[in-house]
Every structure is written in C-alpha cells, then in structure tokens.
Structure 1
Amino acid sequence: MKHISASHESFAEIAAAAARLLTGLEKLTDADVSAPSRLPGWTKGHVLSHLARQAPALERLLEWARTGVENPQYADRAARDAEIEAGACRPAAELVADIAETAARFQRTIESLPGPAWRATIQPFTGEVCTPERILVIRLRELEVHHTDLDIGYGFSDIPQPALGIVLDDVTGYLAPADETPHFVLRDENGEVIHRFGTGGPTVSGPRAAVLAWLTGRSAGEGLTSTAPLPVLPGWI
C-alpha cells in the first residue's frame, strides 16, 4: 500500500487538505447537515461525524507507534459505526468545530511524533501491517475523498495535483491485488500509463481526477473512454 515519507511537505499536504475542507464548510447550515451526501445512506452529517472521529482514531495508532503499546484504531466496526451515528445529527457549528479541533490536534501529533516512532509497526482497522507513514496517506485520502462526498461544490477536479497523485496511487495500490479486479490498462488523457491491472484487457483513459472518481465508485465512468465496455470494478473501501 502507498506510503509517503514523514516530512514537512507531507505534513503540509494534510494541513492544506483540512484547510480546504474547513473553508468549504464555512456556510454550512443545520439543514445542510441533514441533507443527503453523495454516499448512499449517509447524510452530510454522517460524513462530517466520520471525519471528526477519524482523526482521534488515527491518533490512537500513532500513540501505539510512540509507546509500543497496542492501541487499536477502533474496538470493532460496530463501535466505529455507532460513534459516527451518534455525532451525525449535531448542529452544523458543532460538527465543524469538532472537525477543526480534531484536525488541529492530529496535525500537532504528526508534527511532534519522534523519529523512531515513524519506524514502528502498527495495524490499522483495515488489517494491514504498516508503519505510521501509512497513516499520513489514509488521512489525506479521507479528507479529499470525503470532501467530494459532501456535495458542497468540491469535486475530484478540485483536488490539487500533489494530493491527487498520492490518493490515486493509494487507490490503485488497493485495487491491484484484489482477486475481483479485472485486467485492464489505465492511462491519463496524455496517454501516460497510470497502472496496469494484470495483463491484457481494455485500455481505460481519461483525466486523473475522473479516473479517481471512477476507481473509488464515485462515478460511473464519466469523462473516461475505453477500448471496450468499462471493466466492472470491485467495491473500494
């Protein structure tokens, strides 16, 4: 799975993504919170509650890395889902304040994590064994993809290229080893290969933002072309 190094540059990418999200939330109303998001079954409040609670969950993994004492991201899926549900109906101002506070605390945690801790071994909720550098990708991915899920005027084409590249690499890295992923070649609009899934199969081409929207299940393939019918992708996390 994709990692990025623990550096001022990667920390800045996460801070910038959080700032873009908070700017987009400035005019959020209580009515907006209860409106549907782009995720089936989730209101905008559910997405916001998830983003707020995800930061301290990832901090538990960073504390595991710092101390060597196992500290799971969540007790189990039921606990995670209950936590999201419990916060989803809060007023807009409370949700936004929660996101701002937890994002700032997460930023302080990554920027102060000691060097040896970045080389420790931890295990996120998804089951992979990794170092804390993986947490940087997870946080950036969640901020950017869920920002688009809120349907507040921010789309995949609005994600800056450095962040877009990191998230796209991560998603292709997730799909590549999956048994259900069909064989095909993925290229950008300039013909550059983004990823080869298996051997052979059709060639799917398009802008990287449109590619990411499709790979994450956020679009049916709008903006893409294919030399055969678009492959059917397995579900993404």
Structure 2
Amino acid sequence: MSDPVRDLESVREATERLLSAVALWDKSTVSEPSRLPGWSRGHVLAHLSRNADALRNVLRGLPMYANGEIRDRDIEAGAPRSLAEHLEDLRTSGELFLAEAAVTADWSRTVELRAGVTDSALHLPFRRWAEVELHHVDLGTGYELEDLPEAFVIREIDFLAGRFGDHPQVVSTGIRADDGRVWTTGGGKEGPVTGVGGPAPELLGWLSGRRDGSALTVEGGPLPVLPPL
C-alpha cells in the first residue's frame, strides 16, 4: 500500500538527485536532444516543472491542466530557457508541490487527472516520483534504469503491469524478474501464454517503452507488443 509520507520523501530525494546532476551541465547541454523523440533536454525539464504544477493543481481540487493545448504550449515555451532558469523553475515548482502535499488532509479521496482519468489522491506522490525518476533517465546524461532505486523499479513494474492488465491488444503474459518476483499482464483469459523474464530494470525499460526488450528472455511466442503509454 502507498505511504504518502514515505513517497513524498522519495520525491524530494529524486528531485535533489536530478537538480544536482543538471547543475553540472554546461550551458549548451539543455538544448541538446533527449531520449524522447522530438524533445530536447529543455523540453524534458520544462515538462517536469509543469507536471509539478499540474499535480499541485490536482491536490487543490483544480483541473490538472486547463487543456492539452495549453500544456503542450507551456512546454514548448519553456524548453529554450537557460540552464539557470530551468534549475530555478524545477526547484521552485517541486517545492510548491511538496508544500501542497504536506497539508493534504484526505489522501483517500478520488481525484481527476488528464482526459478524465481518476485515481486516489494516495497515489499522487508516487506518480510524481515516477515522473522525476523516469524523465531523469530520459535526459540521457548518465542516469540509467539500473541506477533507479530498487523499491521504485518494483513498484513501477507493478503499476505498468496493472495498466496493461486485461488490455485487449496485449497478449496474456507472465513476467518474471531474475530475483524471482512475478507479475501477470495482458488481456488473455486463459492465463499467461507468453513468458518474459530478465533483470528488473530491463523489464521496466520494456514496459515503459524505454528499451526494446532485446535483453529479455521470451518463451511461448514473440515479445508482446505494448501500446504507447
């Protein structure tokens, strides 16, 4: 079960790791390509800052974003800023999110995210943690899936396996990490028919669309094709 206090501390730690890493960049690094198609590293940083604002809105009972066009426009407008401006924005927006979360009284309430998706407020700290950790990897400056905290990797695999569970476009699949942890996902009704195994970071990479799965072992068929997140 999620523990918002623990997860918020993990958000704080992950944000400090990210800020410390970005602070070592030279000024040109922010404009270089990230690992996300069509996005520079500045786009990734701008998205992280606006995501902190958006999740703070959710905590306050407001719409996450006014609309998708404004979200995209804000990211595009913020991407070309200087390294110093990105660092200040990321730090400030992150601190405001944590401050808002610190006064949240009812973690059991249902909140609305993008496109009508709902969730428990209890899960918002972990959602922010995932944004910071995975997009730190997306920056492509030395922080890899293998560097992620083990507890985060396992919980994110739990989340993604659940997200693809019963999905009609994903074959029924059993997932096994090298440490023996197992998950099931996909839309088959007869139990797992394809087995996928390997190190937990590689499994996370495949499930999150950040690696092609070539380092995984597959039994009972080809590696399942996963729809975009």
| 1:189-234 deviation digits (Å, cap 9, x = unpaired) | 1343133433232211011111001111111114211113211111
TM-score (norm 1): 0.89
Could you list the runs of 4 or more consecutive aligned residues of structure 1 that deviate by over 3 angstroms after TM superposition?
A: none
The SS at the match of 1:204 is strand
CA gap of 1:126–1:143, structure 2 versus 1, over 3 A, is farther
Say whether the 8 Å CA contact 2:161–2:185 is kept in structure 1: no
Gaps of 5+ in 1: 65-70
> What residue in structure 2 maps to residue 164 of structure 1?
153
Say whether the 8 Å CA contact 1:191–1:205 is kept in structure 2: no
Say whether the 8 Å CA contact 1:210–1:222 is kept in structure 2: no
TM-score (norm 2): 0.92
The SS at the match of 2:184 is strand
Overall identity of the aligned pairs, in %: 34
CA gap of 1:177–1:76, structure 2 versus 1, over 3 A, is farther
| 1:98-118 deviation digits (Å, cap 9, x = unpaired) | 10111112112112222xx32
What amino acid is aligned across from residue 229 of structure 1 in structure 2?
P
Say whether the 8 Å CA contact 1:137–1:170 is kept in structure 2: no
User: How far, CA to CA, are the matches of 1:62 and 1:36 in structure 2?
Assistant: 32
For residue 84 of structure 1, report the CA deviation from its aligned partner: 0.5
Gaps of 5+ in 2: none
User: How far, CA to CA, are the matches of 2:184 and 2:200 in structure 1?
Assistant: 11
Q: Alignment partner for residue 177 of structure 1, among 142, 166, 184?
A: 166
Say whether the 8 Å CA contact 2:45–2:79 is kept in structure 1: yes
| 1:16-63 deviation digits (Å, cap 9, x = unpaired) | 111111121121233111111000010100000000111011101101
CA gap of 1:126–1:148, structure 2 versus 1, over 3 A, is farther
> What residue in structure 1 maps to residue 212 of structure 2?
220
Say whether the 8 Å CA contact 1:30–1:92 is kept in structure 2: yes
Say whether the 8 Å CA contact 2:4–2:123 is kept in structure 1: no
The SS at the match of 1:130 is strand
Specify which structure has the bigger relative contact order, considering alpha-carbon pairs within 8 angstroms and separated by 6 or more residues: 1
Say whether the 8 Å CA contact 2:7–2:125 is kept in structure 1: yes
For residue 128 of structure 1, report the CA deviation from its aligned partner: 2.2
